[in-house]
Amino acid sequence: MIYAGIDAGSRSIKVVLFDTDQSQILASGLTDQGVEQERLAAELFEKLLKDAGLERPRISGVVATGYGRNAIRFADTTITEITCHARGVHRLAPDARTIIEIGGQDSKVISLEDGGRVRDFAMNDRCAAGTGRFLEMVAARLDMNWEKLAEAARQSKTPALISNMCVVFAETEIIGLLADGKPLPDVVAGVQNAIATRVSALAVRFVSPPVYFTGGVALQPGMARALEEVLACPVHVAPQPQFTGALGAALSVENKAKG
């Protein structure tokens, strides 16, 4: 049977088609989030069906997750991204005990029990520090794309200390550091460390290895290393980190169908 998971995140919409008989992802894709998110999700869904040579009736169920999940009215049900990331990461990395998910507009730490069930979670969706939004702001301010930002961070010898807890004030601080002659790679690495420090405050209560890192920010080279330093334990980037929520959503329909 084939199930679809749709993760309507704050920055992008991800869709996964999962075949439970073959136990494999048939197709996955993402598109930028927008005002008409249901239309955007539907178009991406239809495109993936077409690419995979499937007709809509072949899909046994659709689950939406993510911040915009309730807007996806063609989904059969909605499940939170906390449960979906847990299921998605557990499928790809069954040994995972902690998941750190940093998305465009929020971050989460999820503690898992045996079997991939959620034991506990903590979430920051009130403050842009500790989310991908911080990196986006820095990239825009420095007129650099995502890859160049990561490349710059790799060259850092002594990351700068970004002391402001607020992204708005941190922007001013970053400009000040650059004006004072602080090398750009050190400033970018400092931003990565600031995000990691912010996220680690969520994790402090229950982080236990193995720790897997997921969400779009996990694709930013240097972020996993920054997390490892503040958490003092290895942090593995989950396979296909931007799709674990959508995969978990697809797996959730499967679980529901099995009763």
Contact set with other proteins (CB under 8 A) = 67, 79-83, 115, 117-121, 123, 125-126
Cβ 119 to other proteins, closest distance in Å?
8
What are the angstrom distances between the C-alpha of 191 and each of 77, 129, 134, 136, 219? 38, 9, 8, 11, 16
Please answer whether residues 66 and 8 qualify as being in contact, where contact means their C-beta atoms are separated by less than 8 angstroms.
Answer: yes
Cβ 148 to other proteins, closest distance in Å?
33
Instruction: Kindly report whether the peptide bond that precedes residue 241 is cis, defined as omega within 30 degrees of 0.
Output: no
Comparison of 123 and 144: residue with beta carbon closer to other proteins:
123
Cβ 204 to other proteins, closest distance in Å?
11
Phi, psi of 15 (to 5 degrees): -130, 140
Cβ 236 to other proteins, closest distance in Å?
23
Comparison of 110 and 226: residue with beta carbon closer to other proteins:
110
What is the C-alpha separation between 209 and 231, in angstroms, rounded?
A: 10
What is the C-alpha separation between 247 and 243, in angstroms, rounded?
A: 6
Comparison of 12 and 78: residue with beta carbon closer to other proteins:
78
Phi, psi of 84 (to 5 degrees): -70, -45
What is the C-alpha separation between 16 and 252, in angstroms, rounded?
A: 12
Where does residue 75 rank: exposed (0-12), middle (13-18), buried (19+ CB within 10 A)? buried
Comparison of 66 and 216: residue with beta carbon closer to other proteins:
66
What is the C-alpha separation between 50 and 165, in angstroms, rounded?
A: 46
Q: For tokens 């990565």, what's the residue?
A: 192
SS3 at position 74: coil
Cβ 191 to other proteins, closest distance in Å?
24
Cβ 47 to other proteins, closest distance in Å?
27
H or E element in which residue 90 lies: helix 81-92
Comparison of 123 and 237: residue with beta carbon closer to other proteins:
123
Comparison of 47 and 119: residue with beta carbon closer to other proteins:
119
